[in-house]
């Protein structure tokens, strides 16, 4: 039985992603720029990465002293949360390898880094690649969140790379996975392995960016998918005129997704975690701000509105953040004791008993479901905040406050709320033209870096607010982006997460407009992602990138 595909899917299989000029042919070379050292913690990073520290920035250029063309074997793995465009990175890598030399081979490691460690892989061929071109999701080879940490993990990777005789392996992941790529590259260099490791900046969260990485792939599509839905909700709010919609948006730490959706739709309230943190705002003060807007809108006869809240908010509220840090230290110190407990309630009581007086109070004020989530860490030590229902918590607290004000005769506001969480809905959407082109370029550039024998690099594409003719691809040494953070109570090298910069152009634009958006109905309706039609509709970058670059 043939598998039915949608008409759009069929057309997208045929879409030819745009590439930077230098990557359109096979005669490419690499040129080296300045040697990269991280902003801070340089000495510590140098000690940890003696073999890969201090490498130079790389730009891929047309012609020149071309990179070698002898046949090579390359592996690829998808790591962490899904992000639209992952399949195009693999397709770009595959096409570039095959165009350079048809004898080149590409292997996909299955279900994330665990596939490398266990030696589970599939050889990728035309049929697999062609049926995944320009599609969303990571279903081609699947993903996983395992982390390559111990000496045994590292030597298992080497063993499996050697068995396949791999010249290179491309790790498609976020900040943690690219850090992992650096650790693996360093290990392989130290033991004299020929396998080069190249990272690719992926995450819908948009927080893997810096001077050399303009945006992580997937951010554009995910935000546009959520923004379509938020725009629809704004229209519903002004049609039914009886609900406040509280929408939580994915993004583990940074508020980039929420801010971008705010730019796209102009909701009445957009909470930005980084601002909350900078101002030491408490949960009570956040509730007061929301109530103030609700009351003022009610005075204009508008008992409806839309609020956006970033998933990462709890970790940025000063009193909750301190409590999470205390819990992380306890989880590190008392790992064995906690592992021996089977009941969640027992764990909650145990951890609670070890918290400071302040921490105890904050922890006790949270619903049991949130208390439980705060005891969980993923393999990279992160709290799985996508499981904390902050929007419901805010609805409850705001509802209570409005009741109090009503009882005191201070408002007539009617508050009926709907809650939403948009996260998983956007992570596997069909990539926008921007993400499809960007990802295909990243894959093609990764092939060049491997052919050039470079290791410990994250591939990059610059100039992306311009026409693809002007895009410039290359690589940035991962060690250049590292800093030292405390994870599970230990000093750990990590890629600096780019949080929303309160001095940056995007936030300033938001701050200048938010009061008007709060009280007036300035909603905008981006509609569904368009793949065909005028370029100003189909090829536009995110507003965040446009504001940052202009």
Contact flag: residue 204 with ligand FBP (CB under 6 A): yes
Q: In the complex with ligand FBP, which residue's Cβ is closer, 399 or 423?
A: 423
Task: Please report whether residue 80 would count as binding ligand FBP according to CB under 6 A.
Answer: yes
**Catalytic annotation on 176?**
no
Query: Would you count residue 497 as binding ligand FBP (CB under 6 A)?
Result: no
User: Exposed, middle or buried by CB within 10 Å (0-12, 13-18, 19+), for 492?
Assistant: middle
- Indicate the helix (H) or strand (E) that contains 30: strand 28-35
Residue 220 sits in the site that holds ligand FBP (CB under 6 A): no
252 binds ligand FBP, rule: CB under 6 A: yes
For ligand FBP, which is the closer residue by CB, 95 or 391? 391
Beta partners for residue 241, in sequence order: none
| Residue 283: HSE in the Cβ half-sphere, 13 Å Cα cutoff | 19
Which of these ranges, 20-28, 53-61, 203-211, 404-412, lies near ligand FBP under the rule CB under 6 A?
203-211
CA 169, chain centre distance (Å): 21
Helix (H) / strand (E) containing 59 = strand 56-62
Instruction: Fill in the per-residue mask, 307 to 326: x = in contact with ligand FBP (CB under 6 A), - = not in contact.
Output: ----x---------------
Place of tokens 């975690």: 273
Which of these is catalytic: 146, 176, 205, 220? 205
Candidate list 81, 206, 359, 475; residue touching ligand FBP; CB under 6 A: 81
- Least Å from the CB of residue 211 to ligand FBP: 21
Q: Closer CB to ligand FBP, residue 145 or residue 189?
A: 145
Phi-psi region of 480 (alpha: psi -120 to 50; beta: other; left: phi over 0): alpha
Query: Which one among 30, 250, 330, 529 touches ligand FBP, defined by CB under 6 A?
Result: 250
Annotate each residue in 142-171 with x if it binds ligand FBP (CB under 6 A) or - if it does not, as one string: ---x--------------------------
Instruction: Report whether 257 contacts 251 (CB < 8 A).
Output: yes
Instruction: Name the residue nearer to ligand FBP (CB basis): 80 or 115.
Output: 80
Binding residue (CB under 6 A) for ligand FBP from 20, 108, 113, 174: 174
Task: Give, in degrees to the nearest 5, the angle at Cα 145 between 144 and 146.
Answer: 100
- Quickly tell me which residue has 């982390």 as its tokens: 147
Strand, helix or coil at 247?
Answer: strand
The residue count for binding ligand FBP (CB under 6 A) is: 15
Q: Which stretch binds ligand FBP (CB under 6 A): 29-37, 75-83, 325-333, 411-419?
A: 75-83
**203 lines the binding site for ligand FBP (CB under 6 A):** yes
Select from 10-18, 19-27, 201-209, 401-409 the region that touches ligand FBP (CB under 6 A): 201-209
Piece in contact with ligand FBP (CB under 6 A), picked from 11-19, 198-206, 280-288, 454-462: 198-206
How many residues can be counted in the chain?
550
3-state per-residue secondary structure call for 374-408: CCCCCCCCCCCHHHCCHHHHHHHHHHHHHHHHHHC
Which residues, at least 6 apart from 538, have a Cβ–Cβ distance to it below 8 Å?
A: 433, 530, 531, 532
Binding mask 411-450 for ligand FBP (x = CB under 6 A): ----------------x-----------------------
User: Of 254, 247, 251, 290, whose CA–CA distance to 274 is shortest?
Assistant: 254
CA angle at 421 for the pair 415 and 423, rounded to the nearest 5° = 160
- Residue among 131, 386, 419, 513 that touches ligand FBP (CB under 6 A): 386
Give the phi and the psi of residue 501 in degrees, each rounded to 5: -85, 115
Residues 6+ apart with CB under 8 A from 511: none
Q: Which residues are catalytic?
A: 205
Q: Which residues bind ligand FBP (CB under 6 A)?
A: 80-81, 83, 145, 174, 203-205, 250-252, 311, 385-386, 427
């Amino acid at each position: 039985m043939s598998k039915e595909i949608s008409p759009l899917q069929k057309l997208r299989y045929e879409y030819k992603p745009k590439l930077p000029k230098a990557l359109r042919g096979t005669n490419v070379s690499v040129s080296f720029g300045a040697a990269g050292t991280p902003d801070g913690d340089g000495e510590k990073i140098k000690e940890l990465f003696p073999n890969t520290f201090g490498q130079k920035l790389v730009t891929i250029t047309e012609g020149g002293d071309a990179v070698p063309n002898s046949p090579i074997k390359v592996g690829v793995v998808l790591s962490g949360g899904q992000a639209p465009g992952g399949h195009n990175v693999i397709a770009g890598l595959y096409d570039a390898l095959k165009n350079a030399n048809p004898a080149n081979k590409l292997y996909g490691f299955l279900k994330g880094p665990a596939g490398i460690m266990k030696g589970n892989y599939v050889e990728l061929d035309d049929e697999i690649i062609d049926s995944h071109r320009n599609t969303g999701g990571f279903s081609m080879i699947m993903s996983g969140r395992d982390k390559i940490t111990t000496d045994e993990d590292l030597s298992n990777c080497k063993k499996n790379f050697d068995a396949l005789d791999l010249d290179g392996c491309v790790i498609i992941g976020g900040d943690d996975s690219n850090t992992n790529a650096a650790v693996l590259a360093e290990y392989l260099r130290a033991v004299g392995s020929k396998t080069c490791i190249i990272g690719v900046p992926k995450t819908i969260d948009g927080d893997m960016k810096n001077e050399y990485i303009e945006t992580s792939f997937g951010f554009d599509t995910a935000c546009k998918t959520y923004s379509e839905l938020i725009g629809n909700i704004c229209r519903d709010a002004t049609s039914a005129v009886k609900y406040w919609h509280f929408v939580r948006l994915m993004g583990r730490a940074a508020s980039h997704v929420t801010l971008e959706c705010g730019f796209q739709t102009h909701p009445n309230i957009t909470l930005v975690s980084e601002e909350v943190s900078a101002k030491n705002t408490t949960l009570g003060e956040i509730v007061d701000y929301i109530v103030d807007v609700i009351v003022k809108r009610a005075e204009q006869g508008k008992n409806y509105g839309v609020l956006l809240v970033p998933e990462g908010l709890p970790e940025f509220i000063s009193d909750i953040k301190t409590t999470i840090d205390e819990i992380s230290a306890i989880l590190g110190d008392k790992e064995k004791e906690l592992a021996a407990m089977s009941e969640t309630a027992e764990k909650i009581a145990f951890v609670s008993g070890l918290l400071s007086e302040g921490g105890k109070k904050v922890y006790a004020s949270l619903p049991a479901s949130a208390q439980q989530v705060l005891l969980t860490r993923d393999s990279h030590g992160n709290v799985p905040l996508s499981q904390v229902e902050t929007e419901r918590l805010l609805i409850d607290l705001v509802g209570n406050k409005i009741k109090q004000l009503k009882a005191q005769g201070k408002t007539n506001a009617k508050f009926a709320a709907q809650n939403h969480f948009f996260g998983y809905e956007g992570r596997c959407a069909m990539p926008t033209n921007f993400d499809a082109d960007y990802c295909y370029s990243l894959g093609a550039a990764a092939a060049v870096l491997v052919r050039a024998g470079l290791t410990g690099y994250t591939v990059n594409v610059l100039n992306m607010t311009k026409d693809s003719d002007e895009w410039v691809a290359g690589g940035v040494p991962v060690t250049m982006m590292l800093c030292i953070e405390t994870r599970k109570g230990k000093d750990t090298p990590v890629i600096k997460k780019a949080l929303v910069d309160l001095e940056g152009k995007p936030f300033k634009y938001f701050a200048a407009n938010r009061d008007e958006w709060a009280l007036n109905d300035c909603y905008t309706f981006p509609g569904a992602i368009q793949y065909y039609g005028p370029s100003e509709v189909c090829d536009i970058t995110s507003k965040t990138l446009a504001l940052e670059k202009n």
